Amino acid sequence: MLCRWDVKAYDIGLLTASLDYVLDLMGFESRFERPARLYLKVLVLKEVCKASLRYAESLSKTHLGVRIPKSTLYYWEVRHGDVVEGC
């Protein structure tokens, strides 16, 4: 466990790599247009950076190369919370 003042705790590359590893272990598959792991990554980035939905939209474009609208992120955050919690 990293201390909160450790620089590696905020490394987005390390975060996405470890999230990929965890999702691969769980065998999480998607039945949606885009992979569900993409939505999960953006929502985890949003929560780690303590960002708004609008800022999370730009984070997805910057770090993952795909723009996900804030309305879609809100939908995943509210409607599919049980899918995320079930993981």
- Mean pLDDT of all residues in 29-48: 77
Q: What's the whole-model pTM score? A: 0.66
Q: How far apart are CA 66 and CA 36, in angstroms?
A: 13
Q: How do residues 52-79 score in pLDDT, each as one tens digit?
A: 889 888 888 888 888 989 888 888 888 7
End-to-end CA distance of the chain: 20
- In this structure, the chain runs to a length of 87
Q: Is the pLDDT of residue 11 over 60?
A: yes
Give the percent of the chain with pLDDT over 70. Answer: 72
Q: How do residues 19-32 score in pLDDT, each as one tens digit?
A: 777 777 777 666 66
Q: How far apart are CA 82 and CA 86, in angstroms?
A: 6
